Structure 1
């Protein structure tokens, strides 16, 4: 994957230093790595202000949705709980990305310790991967709700909901942990990361040893997360579409209302993955530097802002509670006006 490609990439390509003998040479692990901020340093105060503003919006909006669902028993249903955990994952991704980016923008030198880089690799990959697995679980929930409405309450109990969420996270954590362990074992002969944050491909490309194991396992993870989860999601919605085609217009309208936010999020991630796959196939000069950086960070900006917007504001139940939390009219009046 190229230096400024978007988001985490699991398919890793080995890199060897010309004129070196891997068998007879050893490389010390660098204690510090340099990040490729490039032209961002020229107007760092402008970019740091944008970063701080985005981070504040993400924290406030996602926290509001999470708090509304946690504080009101009427919202503690499967669909809303899944939304809450999607927002929690958005907060997780933002906390591991924005504060570090903000500090580096204002620093004279943009560096990160090797240990900090590895932690960021694990965090970024788990964030992106959990986003995909939670969306797949949410699609399953919508499938059961629409295609088996009479059995929905018995199938999707709260215990089942938390088991599905736990399984989605453990599945990702186990795979990414192995990926990171394979990366840690590699000695590095370089110290410059060609991105403004650390991801797995950027670290592995600094190694001068054989990375075949990383290649193979990277392909497996790509298939197991980026490939399998969207397929399961589309299968769920294919079944939902089949049921809706036979139902009344009112039923189709209600199903569309609950499924549209999920489809918007899924479409965004498909576009994100397509960009990630296609960009490395073109020269780094194909796109302007600022645009490449923007596309590389959009997974940490768009999704955490999009989730509270399309779920917290689109779904009436959450919208009413959030407005009430911020001192809006009494809930009875809100029901009459919204």
Structure 2
């Protein structure tokens, strides 16, 4: 059935399958995971915002990272919970494009935030005496603003281009709305979409990765030529960041492979888990990663949790 974007009123998500009464178990698992994500990230945001001792550049960028975890989770989990309990797995076109905007914005902000954090560690380790003069409050505000404004703007344009396509179907073979799946259904020219896809990938993924690789090369040079104390400082502050980067890139890589290649030979449940990993891995692991490794945050969180004991 040929149709255009103004006539498509809904999309059908075909990755869901009938699980009978098990859907209530899946609902409870996803609900508990969502509550854990919201509680953990919200706790760390409050801890950083309410304690003046944590009003340092590194913790401000961490706060931005935790806000993004809440942002991305809110674009996914309420939708998943609704679909799990539903017998008809359809989503309105407007809600579908809204979810595409939210999830892709989350990915863009995540990579850019990690790049800004690596730049901050680069200044702290390579230029410790000039750090405070280089990382001013105005610069922090500018970096945080760019971290959010750039991906949001890029994703607005991307979603608008996808929404204007003429579509020859409304089937999405996933458990959430995906831009690449929508573009593949187009029966109109997608040259502009493809070119813009390359641009947004370069700016949102490869650009931040280049910054991260550059800063880590500089940090490694300082570590090899510096004192033992410098190496210990680099390891303690860079290990969580590097683990977070690898974790997110691992999940994103799975998602790209699954979107671009035929994965019909892979069991349906495994495909669902792999497609969700890049959206759930960071919100779960980042609070644990930074909460356990950053001594200041760990001490303050303990004092809050066990205050009444």
Give the TM bin, normalised by the shorter chain: over 0.9
State the partner residue of 1:246. Answer: 225
State the partner residue of 1:295. Answer: 274
State the partner residue of 1:3. Answer: none
Distance 1:291 1:144, change over 3 A: same
Structure 2: any 5+ residue segments left out of the alignment? none
State the partner residue of 1:52. Answer: 31
How many angstroms does 1:28 deviate by?
Answer: 4.9
1:34, 1:191 within 8 Å by CA — same for their partners in 2?
yes
Q: Distance in 1 between matches of 2:285 and 2:111?
A: 15
2:172, 2:182 within 8 Å by CA — same for their partners in 1?
yes
1:28, 1:189 within 8 Å by CA — same for their partners in 2?
no
1:40, 1:47 within 8 Å by CA — same for their partners in 2?
no
State the partner residue of 1:39. Answer: 17
TM-score, normalization by structure 1: 0.87
Question: Is 1:192 the counterpart of 2:171 in the alignment?
Answer: yes
State the partner residue of 1:96. Answer: 75
What does 1:44-83 correspond to in 2, within 5 Å? 44-83=23-62
TM-score, normalization by structure 2: 0.94
State the partner residue of 2:122. Answer: 143
Q: Distance in 1 between matches of 2:124 and 2:9?
A: 52
State the partner residue of 2:158. Answer: 179
Question: Is 1:29 the counterpart of 2:14 in the alignment?
Answer: no
Question: Is 1:86 the counterpart of 2:65 in the alignment?
Answer: yes
Question: Is 1:323 the counterpart of 2:273 in the alignment?
Answer: no
Counterpart of 2:141 (choices 125, 148, 162) is 162
User: What do the CA deviations read for 1:248-293 (whole angstroms, capped 9, x no partner)?
Assistant: 1122012100100000011112222332343356432232111110
How many angstroms does 1:217 deviate by?
Answer: 0.7
Distance 1:325 1:138, change over 3 A: same
How many angstroms does 1:244 deviate by?
Answer: 0.7
Q: Distance in 2 between matches of 1:320 and 1:134?
A: 25
Distance 1:26 1:304, change over 3 A: closer
By relative contact order (CA 8 Å, sep 6+), the higher-ranking structure is: 1
> What secondary structure, in the 3-state scheme, does the structure 2 residue paired with 1:33 have?
strand
Q: Distance in 2 between matches of 1:83 and 1:186?
A: 38
Aligned residues: 308
Q: Distance in 2 between matches of 1:83 and 1:187?
A: 41
Question: What is the CA RMSD across the aligned residues, in angstroms?
Answer: 1.8
User: Which is worse superposed, 78-87 or 244-253?
Assistant: 244-253
User: What do the CA deviations read for 1:39-69 (whole angstroms, capped 9, x no partner)?
Assistant: 3644311211111011011001001110000
> What secondary structure, in the 3-state scheme, does the structure 2 residue paired with 1:149 have?
coil
What does 1:178-327 correspond to in 2, within 5 Å? 178-280=157-259, 282-327=261-306
